[in-house]
Amino acid sequence: MQTEVAIIGGGLAGLYAGKLLHSRGISFTLIEARERLGGRILTRDEEGTPTDDGFDLGPSWFWPEIQPRLAALVHELGLATFSQHNEGEVIFERMSRETPWRYRATQQEPQSLRIAGGTGMLIRALEKQIPGDSILVGTRVRQMILAANEVSLSISKVDGTAHTLTAKQVIAAVPPRLLAKLAFSPGMDSVTEQRWKETATWMAPHAKFFAIYERAFWRDAGLSGTAQSLVGPLGEIHDATTASGKAALFGFPSVGADARAAMGESAFAKSCLEQFARLYGPEARHPRATLFKDWAADSLTATSDDRNGGTHPKPFAAPWVNGDWQHFLSLGGSETSGTEPGYMAGAVSAAERAVDEVIQRLQLTDRTPNK
């Protein structure tokens, strides 16, 4: 198999890179290890199946005022948006022996927006703009070998078969920590490898718990759905009602990945519902359905280094790739963005930068590994 550009990763960054290359008439093959596209973007209905009207188990918000490139893409793809619901009082739970406080929050600035249907709509819309035969899902890149003027990628499919793909250029649209797990020949220099390993994958230590209800009863009680808790197991809770009106609350656990794993999913869910009942009243104990996604337990997002928390990645001015590989490999995942690392907006800006780099190198005729 041969391609002009290999894109590793079919999250927002990889798909957006594919869209940009396609619009420039450059052929590419996008290789995605999971059997679905989207990466950390994951929208599911209450049964946990893919949908175009569901709940965001990964990212939900963006901020158009400070993320104009992502806002422009959302607009270009014709996606509708709506504001995060925050009308009503906020709850603060300080201690288990104290009644939670209610207070009126100040207007949120900048306003968080959500995509109608879920952020998965971004992925669906991008997928439609890319030729289907350019995408390989359920296919994992294991190794990259630099030989002459091309890169050989060793890939394996979920059925266990192994193949080789040759590319003139590679865009790695994956978190740097996952890229550091690949085998490189020649080996990656130690400075580059260290930098990849030290770059925390944003939100990888986290999880989201959803409870879906017949109606948003907390709104009737004058509550916005937003809560902060020092008691747990959820530390931050928000209204997750969809644009179409499916009522839900979601929370980010304050309990760490190891403690969540030790508790087990059903005990964790029970304790989340107990907390919802404490904060929003007894009706909250009886949702129509619950959803839970623990990103720390997903090896295509988190490494063992991500389990115990991590800082927000910072923009770096230094190059992401050095040595021979810098002529053939660009990093395009969100964490490598120079402006919004870790965010969806970062995936868009990093993909744009990686595509620019690759196009520039494709236009250079005289490329050798030692230049």
Ligand X SMILES: Cc1cc2nc3c(=O)[nH]c(=O)nc-3n(C[C@H](O)[C@H](O)[C@H](O)COP(=O)(O)OP(=O)(O)OC[C@H]3O[C@@H](n4cnc5c(N)ncnc54)[C@H](O)[C@@H]3O)c2cc1C
Minimum separation from the CB atom of position 298 to ligand X (A): 9
Cis peptide before 233 (omega within 30 of 0): yes
Q: Among 5, 20, 31, 296, which residue interacts with ligand X (rule: CB under 6 A)?
A: 31
Q: Rank residues 283 and 305 by Cβ distance to ligand X and give the closer one.
A: 305
x-marked contacts with ligand X along 310-339 as a string, rule CB under 6 A: -----------------------xx-----
* Residue recorded with tokens 């014709």: 78
Residue choice 20, 21, 29, 59 for contact with ligand X (CB under 6 A): 59
Q: Which stretch binds ligand X (CB under 6 A): 6-14, 84-92, 260-268, 353-361?
A: 6-14
Looking at the Cβ atoms of 61 and 92, the one nearer to ligand X is 61
| Closest distance of CB 293 from ligand X, Å | 7
H or E segment to which residue 81 belongs: strand 81-83
Q: Which is nearer to ligand X, 100 or 196 (CB)?
A: 196
The β-bridge partners of 184 are 144
**Residue 13 binds to ligand X (criterion: CB under 6 A):** yes
Stretch of 162-170, 239-247, 295-303, 362-370 lying at the interface with ligand X (CB under 6 A)? 295-303
- Asked whether the CA dihedral 162, 167, 173, 178 is positive or negative, the reply is positive
Query: Considering beta carbons, is residue 174 or 223 the nearer one to ligand X?
Result: 174
CB under 6 A: which stretch of 36-44, 102-110, 231-239, 271-279 binds ligand X? 36-44
One of 3, 6, 7, 10 touching ligand X (CB under 6 A): 10
Task: Indicate the length of the chain as a whole number.
Answer: 371
362 lines the binding site for ligand X (CB under 6 A): no
Nearest CA-CA partner of 279 in 240, 245, 232, 242: 232
Is 40 among the residues that bind ligand X (CB under 6 A)?
yes
Q: What HEC string does 255-307 produce?
A: CCHHHHHHHCHHHHHHHHHHHHHHHHCHHHHCCCEEEEEEHHHCCCCCCHHHC
Q: How far is the CB of 56 from ligand X (least distance, A)?
A: 8
Report the distance separating Cα 280 and Cα 126, nearest Å: 38
Contact call for residue 174 and ligand X (CB under 6 A): yes
Interaction between residue 301 and ligand X (CB under 6 A): yes
In whole angstroms, how far apart are CA 367 and each of 6, 148, 178, 328, 363? 17, 9, 27, 9, 10
**C-alpha 257, offset from chain centre:** 18
Residue 178 touching ligand X (CB under 6 A):
yes
Residues near 351 by beta carbon (within 8 Å), at least 6 away in sequence: 12, 13, 14, 16, 17, 20, 171, 173, 332
* Residues forming the site for ligand X (CB under 6 A): 8-14, 31-34, 39-41, 58-62, 140-141, 173-175, 178, 202-203, 206, 208, 295, 300-301, 333-334, 342-347
